[in-house]
Structure 1
Amino acid sequence: MAVDIPGLVSVIIFYICILLGIGVWGSHKSKKVEKTCPGSKSDVSIIGGRNINVLVGIFTMTATWVGGGYIMGTAEAVYSPNQGLIWALGPPAYVLNFVLGGLFFAKPMRSKRYVTMLDPFQSRYGNTFTAALLVPALISDILWVACILAALGGTMSVILGLSSTISIIISAAVSIIYTFLGGLYSVAYTDIIQLCFIFVSLWLCVPFLVLSPAVGALSQTLPLNQTAGHSWVGDLQLEDAGKWVDQLLLLALGGLSYQALYQRILSAASSVQAQITCFAAAGAVFLMGIPSVVIGIMAASADWNQTDYGLPPPIERGDSGKILPLALQHLTPTWVSVLGIGSVAAAVMSSMDSALLSSASLFTKNIYKTTLRKTASERELQWVIKASVVIVGVAGTGLAFGGSSVLALWLVSGDLLYCVIFPQLVCVLHFRWANTYGAVSGFLLGLLLRLLSGEALLGIPPTLLYPGWKEENGIISQNFPYRTLAMLCSLVAIIAVSYLTEVILSRQLIPRSWDVLGVLKSNMQTEGQNQPTNTDEMKLTFSTNF
């Protein structure tokens, strides 16, 4: 396939503008804020000195979630014959994610002036357990980077005729460089440009797709009157209900465990501003998902024999994961398809930079500064952030060459966060009696149940077979909501074990010397620090958490 030179030049110009324009400007902005911000320089890189205004916060929050996985994964779900519109869970799940984040997580996190998502764990459980929590968070960010780069590589190889490997390497390098230069300011301000570009270009593609001569009447691809293509509505059988609920909750609640979410919440000037950012992003992210849904529907309703793609259709060639770029290439004019790939490139960078910075922030603040090098200077910490950005970027780039489904990578990237970190986060923020014994028990139980359930994408065979499991072509799939079960078991374990150990230790049913994790001593030290300062605060302490 010949390389589309005009399209390639357009993408290069876009990258240069993002890199040299907004990225370098963000670097200068960071340095300017560092001189006036009362906090440390590393805090400016991580949370922008808590100086990100509401509008910028909404843009960067939305852009972080509207990535290559969201755009291409939603279109793939709608087009796939065994899924359809009813399985396009990204838009409703992310709305739920932001609404719950604004109601129950933004205020407790921002009011305590934390810097990262792991700060409350470090404060209550100590450095060792916090380091253990970093592992699933880091794995999820690397898989997230792989997901969005795989989406871009597939798009560029289809529309521009450019090697997927070259596309991935160039895009990763651009994101790594401007994140390396300016921290959160570079990320936030590039997100504004990227989100505007995504919105305009994707919505511009919609009328051309709808009016394409190759697209037939949508009624022809409805389940009751299917004469062409395949049904885009999808079907949800009772036996698949558990899997549907599992995926919905994975995206909605798993998304509450990303450092990228709290990086935006904690960069807000106040708790109220953080909540407003979440609620506004809920509406914006849903709006940004509509074009992907339309693209999937049009692709399912198209007669591919009327296009240069020909027969068999993408679904029979195993190209469902590339349906968005294929639809743009064959169902719209060339200049429109080039804008479409620009939107995917922008979406990739808007999410990748956030994943890079979130992992770098967690390692630098919660591991390097508090455990490895307590005397590290601010200059040293900034270089650790930069080095971490490069390492995570390279690791995610390597995984992107695997050729896995974008939708599958998208789901797996939040898997461990949902099963392991989400119940921990709920308990550390909303259950005052949660202690290290409960946290360790919940962590091990959630992780064990998830690993025993298997993961085909990572080549892990299932050991636990839940009701309704099936085997096709040697691959076992489970329709039971096994991820949600692992999450709930972890949550119950944290609460139950914490409560029992609290009772046993406080009533001295066992010798205090058996308290090897020092929970009783820790409670006595922090009891005075956490006392409400007035009667009104005492009344609100429990209610605001719930």
Structure 2
Amino acid sequence: MTVNVLGLVVMAGFYVVILGTGIWASMRSRKEEKKWTGDGMEITLLAGRNINLLVGIFTLTATWVGGGFILGIAEATYNPTLGAVWALMPVPYVLTFFLGGFFFAKPMRENNYVTMMDPFQKKYGNFMSSALIFPALVADVLWVARTLVSLGGTMSVILDLPYIYSIIISSVVAIIYTLLGGLYSVAYTDVIQLILIFISLWVCVPFMMTNPHSLDISLTAYNETFQAPWVGTVELDEAGKWFDDFMLLALGGLAYQAFYQRILSASSYTQAQVTCFASSAFCLVLGIPSVLIGAVAASTDWNSTAYGLPTPYDRKEAGSILPIALQYLTPTYISVVGIGAVAAAVMSSMDSALLSSASLFSSNIYKNILRKQASDREMQWVIRISVVVVGLAGTALTFLDNSVLVFWIVGVDMSYTIMFPQLVCVLFFKVSNGYGAIIGYTIGLVTRILSGEPLLGLPPIIKFPGCRLDDEGKLTQFFPFRTVIMLMSLLSILLFSWLASIIFNKGLVSDKWDVFDAKRKYKPAATAENIKVSPTSEGAPASKQLLDTTSC
């Protein structure tokens, strides 16, 4: 095996730049820590709630535009059984950010929460919130795995570097700079990474579209005589599955801690809203190159290339179609540029997942349950250890499966069917309580498992209407069953919460059996409107005054 020396040099340079940026950001973080008079965790996890607007936009966009985003879109567009119409990521993400900005940003930011799980812990107590943290942590570990899989496959194709080396090197670099400076390091490296993603992908597109081995994609968009039209179609009997996938991606992202980490790091609710709306536009633009690359790959006569026959799809390498297309349809120096885009995308998502999971464990489990009197120094070590553990767990999973879409779907699936209805109820329905939450959680989890998952080889026990064999001979649900499960979970939470409150408030059952405190009235955390301040503070807490004198 001959290693691509030029590619290795370029990648080494990229990693040096990222590490350098992370080190610089960590030094900035330490300077802010010296000025900070509040909770030290807010500097590490939320950058002191004073992240610069432009940096906030870049880091939120970079978090969503990861390796799975870039490779997954190209894979779906190229796949002759799917097509671009099934490359759903960019459009649902617009809905994610708009819903997040309009509805979720305000209650989360104005209550000054530290993590997504804070409202659960405040309303339901430690037991139920701990149970809900589990699927959120699993989703983050799967997120780490899918980002590393996308980079490992790309580097092994273009650089001829062994898969295991690609995974380990990338994992170590991301863990190191996340350890160094927390959200400061993650956010500022995201700026560099997003710029590199944008430039690299758009540099590759002209070379890809003018290569001599492919037909004009406008001619093959709907032409069924040439392989399969890359635009794709949604048949009537597949509409339920398409809708289900769309809603999964649109609403599942609203139950990720990484999303709220950016919301909560903004200096105000208004800034959080602007960050969401601007990021939605960036996601759309950054999805276009992957669609074009997938379309070119679908329009290519692979027999005329060095790759030869059978095609990537026939070799079951559709998941690596983007690096394969870069390798065989562009000059060497351009393919190296392309791998830079994938590497940047992977790093920008992986560091977010690492810090997200570290935030949940350190703040909601260690600080609030295990060691309430833990010092800032102790918490810094807990965060660092959490980052390393999650990084190692995600890295280990990459050797179990090499499909980006498997980790993508399973991770978002848990967020959509289990966490999203829980978050909606705890934020917007005062009637919700621990009884409803635990029943909704159980119904969502059990029903989802019994509904099966062909990507994991899990056969369906519950067969919804339209359940049948897919093109690969796997029994698949073509009904929007995940959306139904999500709604079942949400309604169960509300119904059983209401019943529990009736039972205890009417005295039908003794209060001593009210283990989830259904009678307790929910009191939201202090907001800017109800905090008592001195006349000289001009309506802002002391910590906020300090932040206003600094700039990110």
TM over 0.5: yes
Q: Unpaired runs of 5+ in structure 1?
A: 535-546
Instruction: Quote the Cα distance in structure 2 between the aligned partners of 1:517 and 1:102.
Output: 31
Moved more, 269-278 or 42-51: 42-51
Instruction: Quote the Cα distance in structure 2 between the aligned partners of 1:191 and 1:529.
Output: 31
- Provide the residue aligned with 2:426 in structure 1: 428
Matched residues, number: 529
Moved more, 458-467 or 486-495: 458-467
User: After the TM superposition, which residues 174-189 of structure 1 pair with which residues of structure 2 at under 5 Å, given as runs?
Assistant: 174-189=173-188
Q: 1:280 aligns with which of 274, 278, 281?
A: 278
- Provide the residue aligned with 2:32 in structure 1: 33
Moved more, 146-155 or 302-311: 302-311
What is the CA-CA distance between 1:456 and the residue it aligns to?
Answer: 3.3
- Does residue 5 of the first structure (1) align with residue 5 of the second (2)? yes
Amino acid at match of 1:2: T
Instruction: Quote the Cα distance in structure 2 between the aligned partners of 1:66 and 1:321.
Output: 17
Instruction: Quote the Cα distance in structure 1 between the aligned partners of 2:158 and 2:530.
Output: 61
- Provide the residue aligned with 1:539 in structure 2: none
Instruction: Quote the Cα distance in structure 1 between the aligned partners of 2:375 and 2:213.
Output: 62
- Provide the residue aligned with 1:142 in structure 2: 141
What is the CA-CA distance between 1:446 and the residue it aligns to?
Answer: 0.7
Amino acid at match of 1:6: L
- Provide the residue aligned with 1:361 in structure 2: 359
- 1:334-393, Cα deviation, whole Å (9 max, x unpaired): 111100001100100000000000000000000001111111111111100000000000
- Provide the residue aligned with 2:132 in structure 1: 133
- Provide the residue aligned with 1:63 in structure 2: 62
- Provide the residue aligned with 1:541 in structure 2: none
* Maintained 8 Å contact 2:112/2:526: no
* Maintained 8 Å contact 2:139/2:412: yes
User: After the TM superposition, which residues 69-468 of structure 1 pair with which residues of structure 2 at under 5 Å, given as runs?
Assistant: 69-223=68-222, 225-468=223-466
CA gap of 1:446–1:246, structure 2 versus 1, over 3 A, is same
What is the CA-CA distance between 1:461 and the residue it aligns to?
Answer: 2.9
Amino acid at match of 1:116: T
- Provide the residue aligned with 2:16 in structure 1: 16
What is the CA-CA distance between 1:527 and the residue it aligns to?
Answer: 8.9
Instruction: Quote the Cα distance in structure 1 between the aligned partners of 2:169 and 2:407.
Output: 21
Instruction: Quote the Cα distance in structure 2 between the aligned partners of 1:503 and 1:212.
Output: 69
* Maintained 8 Å contact 1:220/1:228: no
Instruction: Quote the Cα distance in structure 1 between the aligned partners of 2:374 and 2:421.
Output: 32
Secondary structure at the aligned position of 2:469 is classed as: strand
- Provide the residue aligned with 2:542 in structure 1: none
Secondary structure at the aligned position of 1:509 is classed as: coil
Secondary structure at the aligned position of 1:519 is classed as: coil
What is the CA-CA distance between 1:95 and the residue it aligns to?
Answer: 0.8
Percent of paired sites with the same residue: 57
Amino acid at match of 2:277: F
- 1:315-343, Cα deviation, whole Å (9 max, x unpaired): 11111000000111111111111000011
- Provide the residue aligned with 1:544 in structure 2: none
- Provide the residue aligned with 1:542 in structure 2: none
Instruction: Quote the Cα distance in structure 2 between the aligned partners of 1:279 and 1:154.
Output: 32
Amino acid at match of 2:306: D
- 1:465-504, Cα deviation, whole Å (9 max, x unpaired): 2121123666321111121111100000011111222223
* Maintained 8 Å contact 2:149/2:167: yes
What is the CA-CA distance between 1:459 and the residue it aligns to?
Answer: 4.1
What is the CA-CA distance between 1:219 and the residue it aligns to?
Answer: 4.4
Instruction: Quote the Cα distance in structure 2 between the aligned partners of 1:24 and 1:222.
Output: 47
Secondary structure at the aligned position of 1:317 is classed as: coil
* Maintained 8 Å contact 1:433/1:499: yes
Instruction: Quote the Cα distance in structure 1 between the aligned partners of 2:523 and 2:4.
Output: 63
What is the CA-CA distance between 1:519 and the residue it aligns to?
Answer: 1.9
Amino acid at match of 1:502: S
- 1:35-83, Cα deviation, whole Å (9 max, x unpaired): 1123222221111110101100000000000000000000001001111
- Bigger share in helix: 1
What is the CA-CA distance between 1:106 and the residue it aligns to?
Answer: 0.6
Amino acid at match of 1:129: M
Amino acid at match of 1:159: I
* Maintained 8 Å contact 1:77/1:407: no
Instruction: Quote the Cα distance in structure 1 between the aligned partners of 2:242 and 2:12.
Output: 40
Secondary structure at the aligned position of 1:39 is classed as: coil
Instruction: Quote the Cα distance in structure 1 between the aligned partners of 2:217 and 2:386.
Output: 48
* Maintained 8 Å contact 1:229/1:303: no
- 1:188-211, Cα deviation, whole Å (9 max, x unpaired): 000000000000000111111111
TM-score by length of 2: 0.93
Secondary structure at the aligned position of 1:227 is classed as: coil
Instruction: Quote the Cα distance in structure 2 between the aligned partners of 1:352 and 1:528.
Output: 31
What is the CA-CA distance between 1:529 and the residue it aligns to?
Answer: 8.3
Amino acid at match of 1:241: A
What is the CA-CA distance between 1:401 and the residue it aligns to?
Answer: 1.6
What is the CA-CA distance between 1:528 and the residue it aligns to?
Answer: 11
Instruction: Quote the Cα distance in structure 2 between the aligned partners of 1:170 and 1:375.
Output: 37
Secondary structure at the aligned position of 2:452 is classed as: coil
Instruction: Quote the Cα distance in structure 2 between the aligned partners of 1:194 and 1:287.
Output: 16
What is the CA-CA distance between 1:505 and the residue it aligns to?
Answer: 2.2
- Provide the residue aligned with 2:489 in structure 1: 490
Moved more, 183-192 or 446-455: 446-455
Report the aligned-residue RMSD: 1.7
- 1:130-157, Cα deviation, whole Å (9 max, x unpaired): 1111110111111111111000011011
Instruction: Quote the Cα distance in structure 2 between the aligned partners of 1:319 and 1:459.
Output: 19
Secondary structure at the aligned position of 2:394 is classed as: helix
TM-score by length of 1: 0.94
Moved more, 511-520 or 129-138: 511-520
Instruction: Quote the Cα distance in structure 1 between the aligned partners of 2:262 and 2:349.
Output: 13
Instruction: Quote the Cα distance in structure 1 between the aligned partners of 2:259 and 2:351.
Output: 13
Instruction: Quote the Cα distance in structure 2 between the aligned partners of 1:101 and 1:208.
Output: 37
- 1:13-34, Cα deviation, whole Å (9 max, x unpaired): 1101211x10111111111111
* Maintained 8 Å contact 1:404/1:457: no
- Provide the residue aligned with 2:544 in structure 1: none
CA gap of 1:354–1:533, structure 2 versus 1, over 3 A, is closer
Amino acid at match of 1:185: Y
- 1:278-331, Cα deviation, whole Å (9 max, x unpaired): 000000111111100110011111111221111221111111000000111111
Q: Unpaired runs of 5+ in structure 2?
A: 532-552
What is the CA-CA distance between 1:220 and the residue it aligns to?
Answer: 4.0
Instruction: Quote the Cα distance in structure 2 between the aligned partners of 1:456 and 1:381.
Output: 41
